[in-house]
Amino acid sequence: MKAIVIRTYGGPEGLALVELPDPVPGAGQVLIGVEAVGVGGFDTLIRSGALAAYRATGTGHVPGSEVAGTVTAVGDGVEGAWLGRRVWGFTGIGGGCAEQAVVPVDELTLLPGDLSAADAVTVGGSGAVGHFGLAHARFAPGESVLVRGAGGGIGVMTVQLAARAGASAVAVTTSSPERGERLRELGATHVLDRSGTGDGPPDGYDVVVDIAAGDALPEFLDRLRPSGRMVVVGIMAGPPPVEFGARMLAAFERSLSFATFSMDSVPGADRRAVRAEQFAAASRGELRAVVQEVLPLQEAVSAHRKLAAGEVFGRLVLTP
Ligand SMILES: NC(=O)c1ccc[n+]([C@@H]2O[C@H](COP(=O)([O-])OP(=O)(O)OC[C@H]3O[C@@H](n4cnc5c(N)ncnc54)[C@H](OP(=O)(O)O)[C@@H]3O)[C@@H](O)[C@H]2O)c1
């Protein structure tokens, strides 16, 4: 089968299209004939080598973590009823950028018949991060939310989910006024630039969902209301500065909370239930899958260049 591999960690040019043996599903796994694979910030971090210290991925690693397609084979212990079903699947740290991908049966969600594979890989991973990120922040209807780094795959879903769940305000930081306008169409009420300049709600935020972290993170602590909660779900701008902890303690009297959030901490049954609900909402048109572009698999280098250049609003999708 054809697959994309990381030959050299670093820039997008380290990716290559190669021929690999067809994978075989092991016990508890299925094989999916891949129709679409989502490409986003997680893939670029892996390709750059930035996550090498945390996640062991060798040279020849196949990137891509979320796929949609049809189950073509099942491993030991998996019900044959899965064969021929259209599913969304999480492959784990990689293996998705290929014509066929192996996915644990616990990481499958059935797709509604009218949801395209491209829409599924746009909603599936990012929508769940948005949902559980807000839940981790103990977001409640009527509270105000800031989504930092809102123009990416996770951001566009989090904005929609916060608006749909009854936030009193959904502010965003984003890289251009044009993106701000598009985010308003998805439910944003206030648009700030990446530094946080712009008109936000005067009382600040109950919740910050942060996809960027980086040097600017402490500035956003100051915008939390008393008992406000900041949850970092991504590190697109790198780790926060060392003085972050001191800044947090300096705000002691405001009883702020800071947390990180990873989908790895969510039980599989909860992930599957939320994905099924979000796929149904997307097929009813209540959630928008923001697909910037669908490219053939062999254009993975171009896809990663677009992501690295900050040209992607929502999600990029590759189709084998
Ligand atoms: N917690 C989890 O379980 C989980 C799961 C999957 C992924 N992630 C992580 O979530 C992050 C984002 O993923 P994604 O798929 O949404 O990525 P993405 O589609 O590439 O979007 C990231 C967005 O972050 C913003 N951004 C990028 N660089 C920035 C910078 N230097 N400063 C401020 N904002 C910046 C941009 O938005 P604007 O143009 O609007 O500024 C960009 O569109 C990654 O770090 C990924 O590893 C976490």
The C-alpha atoms of residue 152 and residue 310 are separated, in whole angstroms, by 9
Q: What distance in angstroms lies between residue 27's CA and the mean position of ligand 1's atoms? A: 34
| Percent with pLDDT over 70 in the chain | 98
Query: Averaged over 226-245, what is the pLDDT?
Result: 95
Please determine, for residue 53, whether its predicted confidence score (pLDDT) is greater than 70: no
Burial class (CB in 10 A: 0-12, 13-18, 19+), 272: middle
Question: Which one, of 262, 318, 306, lies nearest residue 152 by Cα?
Answer: 306
pTM of the model: 0.97
- Residue 218 to residue 186: CA distance in whole angstroms: 27
DSSP code at position 107: G
Considering only 55-59, 180-184, 211-215, which range has the smallest mean pLDDT?
Answer: 55-59
CA distances from 74 to 27, 31, 84, 293 (A): 8, 6, 10, 31
CATH 3.40.50.720 domain span(s) along the chain: 138-260
Q: Do the Cβ atoms of 190 and 157 come closer than 8 Å?
A: no
Question: 138-260 architecture in CATH?
Answer: 3-Layer(aba) Sandwich (3.40)
pLDDT confidence tier of residue 44, bands split at 50, 70 and 90: very high
pLDDT at 248: 93
Distance 74 CA to ligand 1 centre (A): 34
Q: pLDDT grade, residue 59 (50/70/90)?
A: confident
Q: Is the pLDDT of residue 60 over 90?
A: no
Please, which pLDDT band fits residue 55 given cuts at 50, 70 and 90? Answer: low
Which residue intervals of the chain bear CATH 3.90.180.10? 2-124+267-319
* Pairwise pLDDT comparison (58 vs 228), residue with the higher score: 228
Q: Taking CB atoms and a 6 Å cutoff, what residues make up the pocket around ligand 1? A: 40-42, 45, 125-126, 129, 149-155, 174-175, 179, 194, 211-212, 214, 233-237, 261-263, 307, 310, 312
Give the pLDDT of residue 159.
Answer: 98
Per-residue model confidence (pLDDT) at position 227: 98
| More confident: 181 or 57 | 181
Are the CB atoms for 213 and 244 separated by under 8 Å? no
What average pLDDT does the segment 81-103 reach?
97
Place of tokens 């049809």: 70
Integer Cα distance of 248 and 269 in angstroms: 34
Amino acid at 99: E
Mean per-residue pLDDT, 23-36: 98
User: Percent of the chain at pLDDT above 90?
Assistant: 95
If DSSP states are collapsed to H, E and C, what string results for 154-209?
Answer: HHHHHHHHHHHCCCCEEEEECCCHHHHHHHHHCCCCEEECCCCCCCCCCCCEEEEE
> Which of 134, 154, 197, 318 maximizes ligand 1 atoms within 8 Å of its Cβ, making it the mutation to test the pocket?
154
CA end-to-end span of the chain: 10
Query: What's the CATH fold of domain 2-124+267-319?
Result: Quinone Oxidoreductase; Chain A, domain 1 (3.90.180)
CA-to-CA distance for 168 and 319, rounded, in angstroms?
39
Question: What's CA 186's distance to the chain center, in Å?
Answer: 17
pLDDT tens-digit profile of 167-180?
999 999 999 999 99
Residues in Cβ contact with 17 at an 8 Å cutoff, skipping those fewer than 6 apart: 2, 3, 4, 297, 298, 300
Residue 62 structure tokens = 């196949």
What is the atom index within ligand 1 of the atom nearest the CA of 183?
Answer: 40
Q: State the average pLDDT for the chain.
A: 96
pLDDT given at position 50 = 82
Residue 54 has pLDDT above 90, yes or no: no
